[in-house]
Chain A
Amino acid sequence: METLLQEVTTEKKPSSQKLNITGAEAVVLSLLAEGVECVFGYPGGAIMPVYDAFYHYQDKLKHYLVRHEQGAIHAAQGYARVKGKAGVAIATSGPGATNLITGIADAMIDSTPVVCITGQVFRHLLGSDAFQEVDVISVSLPITKWNFQVTRAEEIPTAIAKAFYIAQSGRPGPVLIDITKNAQNERFDFEYHKCTKIRSYFPRRKVDMNAVEAAADLLNSAKKPLMLVGQGVILSKAEKELKEFAEKSGIPVASTLLGLSAFSTKHPLYVGYLGMHGNYGPNIKTNECDVLLAVGMRFDDRVTGDLKTYAKQAKVIHIEIDPAEIDKNVKTTVAIIADAKEALIALTEKVTPKSYPDWLQEFADADRIEYEKVVSKDFAPNTEKIKMAEVIKMLSDKTEGKAIIATDVGQHQMTTTRYYQFTETDSNITSGGAGTMGFCLPAAIGAKVGRPDRQVIAIIGDGGFQMTMQELGVIMQYKIPVKIIILNNNFLGMVRQWQQLFFDNRYSSVDMENPDFIKLAEAFSIKAQKVETREELSSALDAMLESPEAYFLEICVEKETNVFPMVPAGAGVGDIRLE
C-alpha cells in the first residue's frame, strides 16, 4: 500500500466515491470511473465477487461472456485497436488467468493497451498451492508492461488507476491486476482518483528541437528519402499530421504491417508495404535510399531481414516514443524520442517543400515489375479454384477500402494485407509481432463491439479458425454482426509454403481434414454460405456485406498457391524473391 501510493500523483478531485462498499464493487466503480463501457470475460471461483458486482451494474457495464479466456483477451485487443483506448479482460485465477497469457504476450509485442483483471485465491492461501492458485504475477511478468497483486480492498482504486494510466500512456501495453478473493470481499470507503503521474515513469518526452533541426537538415538535402511508418502513427493518432508532413516534404511513404491504414494506400506518395511479404519497391529501395525516416516503428526482423545488409547506405532518422527501441536493431543518425504526432508537427515546420518525381518513378517501375511477375498472376482467373488474392481484391473494391479488416495468421493474412487497399485508419486488426493464430475471430468481435458503426470483416484461414472458433457463440449470444470469411485451402498454408520452398516439398502435418464449416456456423445460428466457383463469388460477397446480421462465408480457394514476393527468413531485403 505504502509504495503504491507514495509514487503516484492523482487528480485532486475524486471522480467517483462511495462509502462502505466491497472491493468487488470498487472494481466495477473503478472501471466505470475510467469510462469503461464493456468488458470481455469468463467467471470462476476466485473472481465471483466481481461477477456479483457486475450483476448489480449490468445496465452501466456490459459484460461479454466469451467461450475461452483467450477469446476475452483477443476481443479486448480488437476493441482497443479500433477505439484507441484500453480494452478490458476479466478471468478467474489459475487456468482462467493462464488462458489469457497468449493474448497478453500478443498485446505486449504489438503495443496494445489492455487491462486484465484476474481473481486470485485468498491472501492467507497465497503460496500454499491452493485450489486454482497460479502465480500469475510471475507468469505474466515478462509479457506485461506492469502488473500488481492486490491483497487488500483499499489498494483496488489506486491499482486500477495506475493500470489504466500505464496501459494507455507512452508506448501502450498490457497490464494485469491480480486481486485476491479476500480483497474483493472486504469493505472500505471507496474514492477514485485518476492517476496522472508516477514518480519512476517517464512515458513521453518533449520533442527535442535540436534533433528535429538535425533531422530536417538531413531530409532537406536528401535526394532519395524514404519514410517507413508503423503503428506508432495510429497509436498517437497522427494520421493527419503524417499526411501533412508527407505532402509538404514529398517523401514517399511505406508502411509496416501494423502501420497499414495509417496512410491511405491510394495516396500518390504511398509506395507500399514493407517486410517479408511486402511490396517489391519499398523493400529494395530501402537499400537504395539516402535518408531513411522511420516513424513509430521498431525495425522488426520481419521488416528488416538480415540487419547486416539493411539500409547500410542510408542515414537513419528514427522517431520513436520508446527510448529502448533507439539503436536496438538499426543504428540511427538522428533519434527523435517523442510521440509521433508531436514530432511530425515539429518536423513539418522545418522541412522545405520538395518533390521527388524521379525517385517516385523508380517505385512505379518496381511496382510494374511486381505487377507483371506477381500481382497479375495472383489476380488472373486461370485456376480451377478461386485464388485468395482475387477474393481480397474484390472485397477491397466492393468496400472501397473502408472496412475494418481483421486477419488471422498465415497466407490469407499476408494476401489480405498486400491487396486490401486501406483508405481509413484504425482498420487493420492483425497479430503482427506475435503472429498468433486464433487471434482473428475474437479480435473482430471486439472490434465490432467497439465500432458498431463500421463494417467489420474477419478473414481467417481454415487452420486458425479452428483455434478459437468457439467464439461463434459470442456472436450468436450477443448478436454481433461480424462478417466472417474463411479462406479454406485445406492446408496450414503458410507452413506448407515453407515446406515447399525450404524443405523440398516434404509436407509434414499441414493438410487438414476440416469439419463442415457451414453446418458449424449454422449450429451457432449464423447465416452461412459456401463459395466454390468464381461465378458465385461476387454475389456471395454482396450478400455478406449487405447482411445486417453476422454472416459466414466459406470460400474454397486454390490449395497450393504461394505468397510472393518473399524475403526468405535470414536474407536481406535486397534479396527479395518475386517467384
Chain B
Amino acid sequence: MENYKYLVLSLTKRRHVIPHDEILICILLNFFMVYCLRGKNKKMENKKFTISVFTENTIGLLHRVTTVFTRRKINIESLTVSETETQGVSRFTIVVNGSYDKIAQVVKQIEKQVEVLKCFFYEDEQIVYQELALYKMPTKVFANSESVEDIIRESNARVLAIEPEFIVIEKTGREHETQALFKKLEPFGILSFVRSGRVAIAKPMKRLQTHLEELESVSLFE
C-alpha cells in the first residue's frame, strides 16, 4: 500500500511532462489499481483492530475468550475488562493486530461462546478511544529545573501525587501521545512507567440491547 501511494504521488507530480494520452492511461491505471488493491489489501493486510466483547460476568470467561486468540497465535496487544451500563454485563476491550479476514473469524468464534452476548470489531476510525499512562519520577527533578513543569503543561498531563521522594505524572491520550511524553521525560529519569490498555467506545449509535433484540427476533431457542 505504501509503495502504491508513492506511485500515485510520483505520477501526479510528473504530470506536466507527460503527453496527454499517457496521462489518461496513467489515471485509468490509477483507478484500476486503487480498485484492485482495495479489494485485496483491505481483507489481507495486517491492521490494528479493537474488539469489544460483551459477556455475562462469569468466572472463567476471560480464559475462554483469550484461548480463541492463543489457538490462532494472535498476540493480544492490550486487554481491559470492565462493567457496562447494563448490570451483570462485562465489556472486554481487546486490541490486536491481524488481517480483516482473520479477525472476522476470531470474532465469530468468540461470539460462539455460550456466555458471550455479542462481539464487535472496529478499525480505529470507527471508535473513540483512549489510554492512560503513569510516570513515576524523582521529586528532585522539579527542584532542579523548570522544564519538567513546562513539559507537563504543554502535554496536558498532570501531577497525580507528590511524595518526598517521587512524583507521579498522569497523562491520558493515545499511545503515540503517551509515548511522546515518555520521550520528553526520559532525560530527567523515569523511575517507573505504566500504560493502561485501550478503552474504546464505538461511534455507531446502535445500542447493545438493540443488537440483542434483533438477534433474538431471528432466533429459535428450543
When the two chains form their complex, are residues B220 and A204 in contact, meaning their CB atoms are under 8 A apart? Answer: yes
Answer yes or no: A58 CB below 8 A from chain B CBs: no
When the two chains form their complex, are residues A138 and B218 in contact, meaning their CB atoms are under 8 A apart? Answer: no
When the two chains form their complex, are residues A6 and B221 in contact, meaning their CB atoms are under 8 A apart? Answer: no
Knowing A142-B67, A323-B111, the reply to whether A206 touches B117 (Cβ < 8 A) is no
A141 CA / B64 CA spacing, docked (Å):
7
Which B residues are in CB contact (< 8 Å) with A147? 60
Knowing A7-B88, A166-B114, the reply to whether A203 touches B221 (Cβ < 8 A) is yes
Q: Which of A137, A200, A322, A326 contacts B116 (CB 8 A)?
A: A200
Q: Which of B64, B105, B212 contacts A328 (CB 8 A)?
A: B105
Which A residues are in CB contact (< 8 Å) with B104? 327
Which B residues are in CB contact (< 8 Å) with A169? 221-222
Interface window among B3-11, B50-58, B129-137: B50-58
- How many residues of chain B get a CB closer than 8 Å to chain A's CBs? 29
When the two chains form their complex, are residues B220 and A206 in contact, meaning their CB atoms are under 8 A apart? Answer: yes
* Minimum C-beta distance from A236 to chain B (A): 12
Answer yes or no: A542 CB below 8 A from chain B CBs: no
Answer yes or no: A196 CB below 8 A from chain B CBs: yes
Which B residues are in CB contact (< 8 Å) with A197? 221
What are 5 A-B residue pairs whose CB atoms fall within 8 Å in the complex?
Answer: A169-B221, A197-B221, A205-B219, A324-B109, A324-B111
Answer yes or no: B216 CB below 8 A from chain A CBs: yes
When the two chains form their complex, are residues B58 and A201 in contact, meaning their CB atoms are under 8 A apart? Answer: no
Answer yes or no: A308 CB below 8 A from chain B CBs: no
A208 CA / B88 CA spacing, docked (Å):
31
Q: Which of B63, B112, B216 contacts A324 (CB 8 A)?
A: B112
When the two chains form their complex, are residues B56 and A205 in contact, meaning their CB atoms are under 8 A apart? Answer: no
A328 CA / B108 CA spacing, docked (Å):
10
- The chain B residue sitting closest to A3, CB to CB, is B58
Answer yes or no: B201 CB below 8 A from chain A CBs: no
When the two chains form their complex, are residues A206 and B219 in contact, meaning their CB atoms are under 8 A apart? Answer: yes
When the two chains form their complex, are residues A141 and B63 in contact, meaning their CB atoms are under 8 A apart? Answer: yes
A205 CA / B216 CA spacing, docked (Å):
9
> 17 more A-B contacts (CB under 8 A) besides A6-B88, A169-B222, A202-B215?
A7-B88, A138-B63, A141-B60, A141-B64, A145-B114, A146-B115, A169-B221, A196-B221, A197-B221, A200-B116, A203-B220, A204-B219, A205-B219, A206-B218, A322-B112, A324-B105, A327-B105
Scan residues 4-19 of chain A and give those whose CB is less than 8 A from a CB of chain B: 6-7
When the two chains form their complex, are residues B219 and A202 in contact, meaning their CB atoms are under 8 A apart? Answer: yes
B interface residue numbers (CB < 8 A to A): 55-60, 63-64, 67, 71, 88, 104-105, 108-109, 111-112, 114-117, 212, 215-216, 218-222
When the two chains form their complex, are residues B56 and A7 in contact, meaning their CB atoms are under 8 A apart? Answer: yes
Knowing A166-B114, A200-B116, A328-B105, the reply to whether A3 touches B56 (Cβ < 8 A) is yes
Scan residues 129-185 of chain A and give those whose CB is less than 8 A from a CB of chain B: 137-138, 141-142, 145-147, 149, 166, 169
When the two chains form their complex, are residues A199 and B219 in contact, meaning their CB atoms are under 8 A apart? Answer: no
Knowing A6-B88, A322-B112, A323-B111, the reply to whether A196 touches B222 (Cβ < 8 A) is yes
Knowing A141-B63, A328-B105, the reply to whether A208 touches B111 (Cβ < 8 A) is no
Which A residues are in CB contact (< 8 Å) with B218? 205-206, 208
* Minimum C-beta distance from B162 to chain A (A): 40
- The chain B residue sitting closest to A195, CB to CB, is B221
When the two chains form their complex, are residues B222 and A323 in contact, meaning their CB atoms are under 8 A apart? Answer: no
Interface 0/1 of A249-282, CB less than 8 Å to B: 0000000000000000000000000000000000
- The chain A residue sitting closest to B115, CB to CB, is A200
* Minimum C-beta distance from B80 to chain A (A): 20
* Minimum C-beta distance from B32 to chain A (A): 23
A352 CA / B113 CA spacing, docked (Å):
39
Interface 0/1 of A303-333, CB less than 8 Å to B: 0000000000000000000111011100000
Q: Which of B57, B71, B216, B220 contacts A3 (CB 8 A)?
A: B57
